[in-house]
């Protein structure tokens, strides 16, 4: 039974506490939060756990096997580093760190200490993304031509990260599990029309080998909440609507075929394939519980998780490059 200590019991920490307390193979042993009201909230739900005002004291406790970090991004590095140095496996909320240099240090330290990092890119563990990743790997989508994501709502303005680090980060993680190759270039436009000091509106494009493209529109300024991704392959296309409670993914057997008429040099014939649509039944377990069980399996076997430290590092690198492109007015930067 792995004993978990959670650092940060604000908005997201309670979700980690719940899943690690319930998952097969783990239990919640302790919570650390700087605020007394949050420690009291945790004790109210889990009277048997221990609570700590000082996270380092909890990290040093030999009874704790795994530390999960659910604090603001700027604090992830120092806390995860202390946990790895104390010989613990760590779960770190997305994004792994505030800079790629910090994330690199964590990955190196984990390797040196023989411990694992799981970056909690929760979307990768949703049944919808797992199904799309399977379809992509099995060739059911064919060649992926494009990925188009709209991730907008009247969002919670964050003080320490912009909308790219808050929302586009999810698409970067999903793309990592869908696309057969890494992107080769990136361009981002990020705007702060409200003057909040953090961009709240972003348009990010990733370029992939073979002319494939991913475009992500993210915003905290939209009147409606849309979480929709379209993945267009040359064999089938998928629409993933995370707001749809019953049919999260719909698979369309639709596409076009171009037939070059050799007799008339420049004539091009377009054949439309309009086949069936199906909405497959998906595993109903919530993504965080799937993540928690996967974390327990990986830590017990000491093997790298699907969203390892390296995956977290790659995503932080992309986030940095998106910011760099945005600072240069959307300049396309080679990766």
Ligand X SMILES: NC(=O)c1ccc[n+]([C@@H]2O[C@H](COP(=O)([O-])OP(=O)(O)OC[C@H]3O[C@@H](n4cnc5c(N)ncnc54)[C@H](O)[C@@H]3O)[C@@H](O)[C@H]2O)c1
For ligand X, the binding residues (CB under 6 A) are: 7-13, 32-35, 38, 55, 70-73, 75, 93-94, 120, 122
Decide: 48 and 72 in contact? Cβ < 8 Å.
no
- The DSSP secondary structure of 313-324, one letter per residue, reads HHHHHHHHHHHH
Compute the least distance from the CB of residue 203 to ligand X, in Å.
21
Q: Which is nearer to ligand X, 141 or 313 (CB)?
A: 313
Q: Which is nearer to ligand X, 12 or 146 (CB)?
A: 12
Compute the least distance from the CB of residue 130 to ligand X, in Å.
16
Q: Which residues, at least 6 apart from 252, have a Cβ–Cβ distance to it below 8 Å?
A: 236, 237, 238, 239, 275, 277
Name the closest residue to ligand X (Cβ): 10
β-pairing, 89-93 with 268-278? Answer: unpaired
Task: Give the residue from 315, 15, 14, 78 showing the smallest Cα distance to 174.
Answer: 315
Phi, psi dihedrals of residue 74, rounded to the nearest 5°: -65, -20
Pair of tokens at residue 36 = 């007394």
Q: Which is nearer to ligand X, 158 or 207 (CB)?
A: 158
Distance CA 151, CA 225 (A): 8
DSSP state of 168: I
Phi, psi dihedrals of residue 200, rounded to the nearest 5°: -115, 0
What are the counts of helices (DSSP H) followed by strands (DSSP E) for the chain? 10, 15
Pair of tokens at residue 332 = 């396309």
Cα Rg of the chain, angstroms: 22
């Amino acid at each position: 039974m792995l004993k978990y200590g959670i650092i940060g019991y604000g908005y997201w920490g309670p979700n980690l506490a719940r899943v690690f307390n319930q998952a097969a193979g783990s239990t919640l042993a302790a919570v650390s939060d700087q605020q007394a009201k949050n420690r009291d909230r945790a004790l109210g739900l889990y009277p048997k756990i221990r609570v700590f005002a000082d996270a380092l004291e909890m990290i040093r406790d030999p009874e704790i096997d795994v530390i999960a970090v659910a604090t603001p991004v700027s604090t992830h590095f120092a806390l995860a580093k202390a946990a790895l140095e104390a010989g613990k496996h760590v779960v770190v909320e997305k994004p792994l760190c505030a800079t790629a240099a910090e994330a690199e240090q964590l990955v190196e330290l984990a390797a040196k200490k023989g411990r694992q990092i799981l970056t909690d890119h929760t979307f990768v563990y949703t049944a919808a993304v797992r199904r799309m990743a399977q379809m992509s790997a099995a060739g059911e989508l064919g060649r992926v031509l494009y990925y188009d994501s709209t991730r907008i709502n009247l969002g919670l303005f964050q003080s320490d990260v912009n909308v790219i680090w808050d929302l586009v980060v999810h698409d970067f993680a999903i793309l990592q599990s869908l696309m057969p190759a890494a992107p080769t270039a990136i361009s981002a436009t990020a705007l702060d029309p409200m003057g909040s000091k953090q961009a709240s509106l972003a348009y990010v494009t990733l370029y992939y080998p073979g002319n494939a493209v991913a475009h992500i529109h993210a915003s905290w300024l939209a009147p409606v909440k849309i979480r929709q991704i379209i993945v267009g392959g040359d064999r089938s296309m998928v629409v993933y609507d995370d707001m749809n409670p019953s049919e999260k993914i719909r698979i369309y057997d639709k596409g076009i075929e171009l037939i070059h008429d050799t007799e008339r040099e420049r004539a091009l014939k377009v054949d439309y394939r309009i086949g069936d649509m199906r909405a497959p039944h998906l595993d109903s377990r919530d993504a965080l519980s799937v993540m928690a069980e996967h974390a327990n399996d990986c830590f017990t076997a000491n093997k790298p998780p699907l969203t390892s430290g390296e995956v977290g590092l790659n995503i932080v690198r992309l986030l940095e490059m998106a910011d760099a492109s945005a600072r240069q007015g959307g300049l396309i930067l080679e990766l």
